[in-house]
Amino acid sequence: MRKKRQILSFLLAMSGCLAADRSDSELKSLFAAQSWFKLRDAVARSADAPAFYRGAVACAFNRVDEAERRFRAVIAAPGDVQHAADAHGMLAYAYMRTGRYRRTYAHFGAIQKLNPGVPGIKSVVGVSSALSGYPEMSAKARRLSTVRMSDDLFIPVAVDGKPAQYGFDSGSDVSIMSEAEANRLGLPIHAVSASTSQDEASGNDVPIRFVVVNRLTAGGFELRHVAFLVFRNDAMPFVELPPDKQGILGIPVLVAFGTMRWNSGHELTIGAHADRRDLQPPNMCFHAVRPVVEGGFRGQRIQVWLDTGSDRTFLTERFARQFPDVIEAGGKEAPARFRGVGGSNDVRVVTVPEVKFSFAGGEMILHPALALPKDERVDRGWYDVWLGMDVLGQAREVSLDFKSLTFSLK
């Protein structure tokens, strides 16, 4: 009987090991696919999920203090250089999206020491090093405010006391302005040697120059020490904008606002507190610096990159891999040109007559839907839909809450 018990105990132990192996394999696969919502749920189901994956979920859902705790042992563990580098990278982006560039620089610098051959590491270290020499962005005042937007959704701001109208771009890692605007404001432009940033639209790299605004006000919000990248006057979108609309507010500023709600009447409310009756589990998270919303298509979960700086919505190669019949059935090739701060890029998209997908409790229609080809220069493997303002414009009200990480449409 004792021997039978020993055998049973051994089998139970082996069963536990196999279950753990399957669990770890699932977590590894979901992390590699950058499927953040599925990874969150898989970690929640696993009683013994490794600290690395718990830290990754905490970072994606902006629980940065928890992520630091989870990653401490990962970073200190000997031998696992890849996990340590990934942990540093996720933390670096978490601090970047709140304008804390000193900590951003510390984590990117750690990656460079661990693996100096990581593509692009010299550029991000150079930029974050330069920005770390300035005071970190902070909020001097936060008051619930409603402002009137222009027809093209630019909002009234003051930059170091000078009035302007700036757009807001949830797809921009950092706020940006034109060289002409920097000169109008009397701000010294700093160049970062041997550093470039990639333009998502064109796929091209552009040299990095920046300014630091001492005081930015919008409604009842006053932010200090806000970094802006500076681009040429003939770059998109500035070449098509009037002189008083030569700035775009990026993610660090939008996150500082906390909440943003705008409606079809062109009213924007910032700093509103969420109604407890409306609180729901997060349906939004961050991939690096970029907000991602969970959506659905044909009963399957998809990831949607929320980009208020794009006027068009696109399907990506990740969507095409999951639903090849959608692209193949009735899809026709057509030329398209992407224009951004890095120039233009001619591509051939596949047009599909209509695609309906769900997210934020509603249904959105692409008519037609445009599917992007694979571009080796641009990483689009982490989202299925690149959501632009053409779809958001179908709603009466759009709400972005970076505190509760919820996104809703009415």
- Mind listing the pLDDT tens digit for each residue in 59-116? 999 999 999 999 999 999 887 899 999 999 999 999 999 999 999 999 999 999 999 9
List, for residues 290-306, the tens digit of each pLDDT value. 999 999 999 999 999 99
pLDDT above 80 for 397: yes
Burial class for 389, CB neighbours closer than 10 Å (0-12, 13-18, 19+):
middle
> So what's the pLDDT on residue 11?
36
Confidence of residue 343 (pLDDT cuts 50, 70, 90): low
For residue 332, the model assigns a pLDDT of 79
Lowest mean pLDDT among 16-25, 272-281, 305-314: 16-25
What is the DSSP secondary structure assignment for residue 396, as one 8-state letter?
S
Arithmetic mean of pLDDT, 374-395: 88
For the four alpha carbons of 60, 65, 68 and 70, in that order, the dihedral sign comes to negative
Question: Mean pLDDT for the chain?
Answer: 88
Highest mean pLDDT among 137-146, 347-356, 386-395: 137-146
Q: Catalogue all structural domains in the chain, each as residue range(s) with its CATH number.
A: 18-131 (1.25.40.10), 138-270 (2.40.70.10), 276-409 (2.40.70.10)
Peptide bond into 368 cis (omega under 30): yes
pTM: 0.89
CB 224 within 8 A of CB 137: yes
The SS3 assignment for 69 reads helix
Q: Which has the higher per-residue pLDDT, 24 or 131?
A: 131
Contact status, residue 303 vs residue 285, Cβ threshold 8 Å: no
Query: What is the tens place of the pLDDT at every residue in 140-192?
Result: 999 999 999 999 999 999 999 999 999 999 999 999 999 999 999 999 999 98
